[in-house]
Protein backbone atom coordinates (compact mmCIF):
# COMPACT_ATOMS: atom_id res chain seq x y z
CA UNK A 1 0.00 0.00 0.00
CA UNK A 2 1.31 3.43 -0.95
CA UNK A 3 2.08 5.74 1.94
CA UNK A 4 -0.31 8.66 2.13
CA UNK A 5 0.79 12.24 2.00
CA UNK A 6 -1.08 15.31 3.17
CA UNK A 7 -1.81 16.83 -0.22
CA UNK A 8 -3.16 13.63 -1.77
CA UNK A 9 -5.24 12.93 1.32
CA UNK A 10 -6.71 16.43 1.26
CA UNK A 11 -7.59 16.11 -2.44
CA UNK A 12 -9.26 12.74 -1.78
CA UNK A 13 -11.20 14.26 1.12
CA UNK A 14 -12.41 17.11 -1.10
CA UNK A 15 -13.46 14.57 -3.74
CA UNK A 16 -15.46 12.56 -1.18
CA UNK A 17 -17.15 15.71 0.09
CA UNK A 18 -18.21 16.67 -3.45
CA UNK A 19 -19.60 13.17 -4.01
CA UNK A 20 -21.54 13.21 -0.74
CA UNK A 21 -22.88 16.70 -1.40
CA UNK A 22 -24.08 15.66 -4.85
CA UNK A 23 -26.76 13.50 -3.27
CA UNK A 24 -26.17 10.84 -5.91
CA UNK A 25 -24.41 8.32 -3.68
CA UNK A 26 -26.21 5.15 -2.59
CA UNK A 27 -26.63 4.78 1.17
CA UNK A 28 -24.16 1.90 1.53
CA UNK A 29 -21.54 3.78 -0.48
CA UNK A 30 -22.27 6.94 1.50
CA UNK A 31 -21.46 5.17 4.76
CA UNK A 32 -18.19 3.82 3.32
CA UNK A 33 -17.22 7.24 1.99
CA UNK A 34 -18.08 8.86 5.30
CA UNK A 35 -15.84 6.39 7.14
CA UNK A 36 -13.02 7.01 4.65
CA UNK A 37 -13.48 10.76 5.04
CA UNK A 38 -13.21 10.44 8.83
CA UNK A 39 -9.92 8.55 8.46
CA UNK A 40 -8.60 11.19 6.08
CA UNK A 41 -9.60 14.01 8.45
CA UNK A 42 -7.79 12.28 11.31
CA UNK A 43 -4.68 11.71 9.16
CA UNK A 44 -4.62 15.32 7.91
CA UNK A 45 -5.20 16.71 11.41
CA UNK A 46 -2.30 14.68 12.80
CA UNK A 47 -0.03 15.78 9.93
CA UNK A 48 -0.97 19.44 10.48
CA UNK A 49 -0.39 19.17 14.22
CA UNK A 50 3.04 17.62 13.69
CA UNK A 51 3.97 20.23 11.08
CA UNK A 52 2.81 23.03 13.36
CA UNK A 53 4.97 21.74 16.21
CA UNK A 54 7.95 21.48 13.88
CA UNK A 55 7.47 24.96 12.45
CA UNK A 56 7.02 26.42 15.94
CA UNK A 57 10.54 25.34 16.88
CA UNK A 58 13.21 27.75 15.75
CA UNK A 59 16.88 27.03 16.09
CA UNK A 60 18.73 29.92 17.71
CA UNK A 61 22.33 30.74 16.79
CA UNK A 62 23.65 28.75 19.77
CA UNK A 63 21.84 25.60 18.64
CA UNK A 64 19.12 25.66 21.27
CA UNK A 65 15.50 25.54 20.24
CA UNK A 66 12.68 27.69 21.49
CA UNK A 67 9.01 28.01 20.75
CA UNK A 68 8.15 30.58 18.11
CA UNK A 69 5.63 33.12 19.30
CA UNK A 70 4.03 35.77 17.15
CA UNK A 71 4.21 39.15 18.81
CA UNK A 72 1.08 41.21 18.39
How confident is the model over 11-43, as pLDDT tens digits? 999 999 999 999 999 999 999 999 999 999 999
Whether the predicted pLDDT of 1 surpasses 50: no
Please report the pLDDT score of residue 59 as a whole number.
Answer: 55
HEC-encoded secondary structure of 7-48: HHHHHHHHHHHHHHHHCCCCHHHHHHHHHHHHHHHHHHHHHH
Q: pLDDT band at residue 56, thresholds of 50, 70 and 90?
A: confident
In this predicted model, which residue has the larger pLDDT, 59 or 1? 59
The neighbour count for residue 40, using CB atoms within 10 Å, is 21
Residue 62 per-residue DSSP state: T
How many whole angstroms separate alpha carbon 56 and alpha carbon 62? Answer: 17
Amino acid sequence: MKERNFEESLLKLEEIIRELESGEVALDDMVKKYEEANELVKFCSEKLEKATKTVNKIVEENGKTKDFKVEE
